[in-house]
Amino acid sequence: MKTKRKVLHILVTLSFLLTLLVPMIGPAGAATVNYTTVTQVTPFDPSADDADNLLGATVEVNINPYTSGGTALLEVVDSSGRSLPIVSVNGVAVNAKIYSYTFVPDGTGTTDRSAWQDLVIRFDGSDANAGEVSAKFSKCTGQLTSGTVAIRIAKAGSLDVTVPTVVSLSDAGCNATDDNAVTIRVNETVAGGFEAGANSVKFKLPNGFKWKNDVTFEGLNKTPSNDFTYQLLDSDRTLSVTNNGGWSGTLLLEIKAGVTVESTVAKYGDVTVKISGESTINQNEAVVAHYGDYEATVSSVTTETVMSGQKEQDIGKFAIEEALAGTLVDNRTIILTLPEQAKWDGDLPVLSTGDSDNIGNFAIEDFDYVGSDYRTIKATVTTKSTGDEPTKIVFKNGQITVRADYTGDIELTVSGSAGAEGKVKVAEAKAPVTATAASKPEVIIGMGSQAAGDITITETEAEALQATYNLTSLVWNSETSSYDEVKTTPDAYLVLEAPTGVRFADEPTFTVTGDLDLGTPLCESDSQYVTVRVEGTSSAPASVKISDIKLIVDRTVPEGDIQLKVGGTSLVENNVSGLFENVNWVTKVAVAKVVTPAPEQTKVKTVFKIGESKYTVNGVEKTMDVAPYIQNDRTYLPIRFAAYAAGVTDSNIIWNGEEQSVLLIKGDRVVKLTVGSTTMLINGVPFLMDVAPENVDPGRVMLPVRWVAQALGCDVQWDDATQSVTIN
């Protein structure tokens, strides 16, 4: 048992010793060998003149740890593994495909035991296949091991396709000899880029276009010994080029071709060809032409907001753009016409060269008026557009004036022999103020001092209500025997205008919100107008409330809304000869409604209360200056209000101060009453009353209302409970 245990101990000990001895087993010269490049690996063209003596990237051979070096066979091989001639290594001529290389250190490591050597290799790459060219180390001895490292890259043969000029095509198409022939250039990046034989390169047109049997080939850098040929495929949409060879080096080929346009199928815009073929081509499509008509379109560049009624308002910029280059030719005209609501006023548009594109030497004369309505201007092109790209001309700095009562878009109509046609929005007209009414009470014809709704006039921008306005006058100059234009800026007024048959009974009240400054309202008795001077403009949009509006409505006024016009020189500058002389307002607002179509059909209910100066007409409250009273069991009213209640208008109330009598006329009835007399005349026939008209303070003539109302055909009712009298 002891003997066995002793043997086991010996075996364990031997096993442990063997594990300590394993790292020492092996060849003493084992090392790591790296082949790397320390300069850039660059591409080259095998067809280039210097391809037979090319400098490869510097190769560094590194051995670590270095002991004895070694030898190897060095080759330069292309991507297919074929050996290329070595010209030299480190300046030593070789001129063979194999070089016997011996490692000789250029330096050793200071912190390790490495050593390295740099190899500068020159080789003949003129027959190299496309791809990496490498330095190959084989059949090594000593510490060197086999390996490869890329030192250059041989470029593959390919074609670059370019279009020197994108030509313009109309429905007429083109020929190979025309100035607008389709021109394509094909450039070999490396010799042999053109694949030999048919379908070397193919160009396919889009639907609606066909190649003509009219194609030329020209070498721009050399002349091939055998010409290129072509065939038309796909119903003449594909131009297939056949390479017959016959040149050395790289070729730059220019192809010129004619094109037919099928106008019913072809689409306006860029004509793009698809590129394919047996050759390696770096592009798959190219724009060769632009198809369209010889016409020009118009478009808006900017739009401006203009104030209706104001003079010399700036419009936005607008453009005229050729569909095809050369559309705008000299001695052709461009005509600009404004809509009926606008006229040219101030500066006429001018060419903006900074905003225009491809303008070249294009020139146009100044615009001038056509006719006498100031709506149309015309200019003639003096130098046509040139170049291969369509010209876009932009006009700026035009000024107009817009009819005061118009709001909305201002569209310019472009026409003329230059081919430009269309409409373009250049401005949007807005009113300087808006007007709204708080109510629209009913009024009847043949009555005076009837209340209308309050009006609020609001500026749409600061200074919309002007304190002065621009006035141009013609003044005779005796020295020149001609008229001179004289511009002045008189005071401006805001005006309310009532329609025909309606008048203001008195001045309304004007209340301003904001820093607008107004003068005192002016209104002559029974006037159709109320005016107020604008003494100072606003710094922010202001509003004006107009209240206490009392209207006198004649019997001639038809049933419906009564609209007041808002205008005056504060808002309207262009109501002058040649512009819009009959339009002096910017907006209208309904302030009342006439509910009676004719005097005979008038149904008026007037209620008076004893001792109260307020009364109602069809429910609308009104005010008298003297209250009704009862005397001798009869109700007395002032002459005017008794007549109003009976349907008599102001113009049919005739007072004779000398006789102290009054005539009331309604339809075919004439009623005469005299102060202090109980005799009433109806159409000249005397009737005896039980009371007489009388004078009361402060100098008012009072009439017995029942006698007057009944004489004029009205119904009178007395309500003792409310102490009121109703006249229908």
Which residue in the block uniquely carries the two structure tokens 């705008």? 328
| Model confidence band, residue 586 (pLDDT cutoffs 50, 70, 90) | very high
Instruction: Provide the token pair at 44.
Output: 């080259």
Instruction: Provide the pLDDT for residue 226.
Output: 66
Q: Are the folds of 296-430 and 433-594 the same?
A: yes
Instruction: Provide the pLDDT for residue 25.
Output: 32
Better-predicted residue by pLDDT, 163 or 598: 163
Q: Is the pLDDT at 17 greater than 60, yes or no?
A: no
Q: Which CATH class is domain 159-291?
A: mainly beta
Q: Is the pLDDT at 18 greater than 70, yes or no?
A: no
What is the rounded average pLDDT for all residues in the chain?
A: 88
Find the distance separating the first CA and the last CA of the chain, reported in whole Å: 154
**Residue 351 β-bridge partners:** 395
Q: Are 46 and 192 in contact (CB under 8 A)?
A: no
Q: Is 225 exposed, middle or buried (0-12, 13-18, 19+ CB in 10 A)?
A: exposed
d(CA 160, CA 64): 48
The mean per-residue pLDDT over the stretch 69-84 comes to 94
Q: Is the pLDDT at 386 greater than 90, yes or no?
A: no
Q: Is the pLDDT at 323 greater than 80, yes or no?
A: no
Q: Is the pLDDT at 348 greater than 60, yes or no?
A: yes
Domain boundaries, the chain: 32-154, 159-291, 296-430, 433-594, 604-727
Q: Is the pLDDT at 13 greater than 80, yes or no?
A: no
Q: Are 404 and 556 in contact (CB under 8 A)?
A: no
d(CA 216, CA 226): 14
pLDDT in tens, 620-678: 888 888 889 998 888 888 878 888 888 888 888 888 888 999 999 887 788 999 999 99
pLDDT in tens, 334-345: 999 999 999 999
Q: Which one-letter amino acid corresponds to residue 198?
A: A
Better-predicted residue by pLDDT, 462 or 470: 462
Question: Which CATH code fits 296-430?
Answer: 2.60.40
pLDDT in tens, 421-443: 899 999 999 999 999 999 999 99
| Model confidence band, residue 225 (pLDDT cutoffs 50, 70, 90) | low
Instruction: Provide the pLDDT for residue 19.
Output: 32
Instruction: Provide the token pair at 391.
Output: 């010209």
Q: Is the pLDDT at 40 greater than 90, yes or no?
A: yes
Q: Hey, what CATH topology would domain 604-727 get?
A: Copper Amine Oxidase; Chain A, domain 1 (3.30.457)
CATH architecture of the domain with range 433-594: Sandwich (2.60)
Q: Which one-letter amino acid corresponds to residue 48?
A: A
| Domain 32-154 = CATH 2.60.40 | yes
Instruction: Provide the token pair at 451.
Output: 């209340």
Q: What share of the chain is helix, strand, coil (3-state, %, to 5)?
A: 5, 50, 45
pLDDT in tens, 244-284: 877 777 889 999 999 999 988 999 889 999 999 988 899 99
Judged by average pLDDT, the poorest of 108-122, 132-146, 201-215 is 108-122
The mean per-residue pLDDT over the stretch 443-464 comes to 92
Instruction: Provide the pLDDT for residue 1.
Output: 33
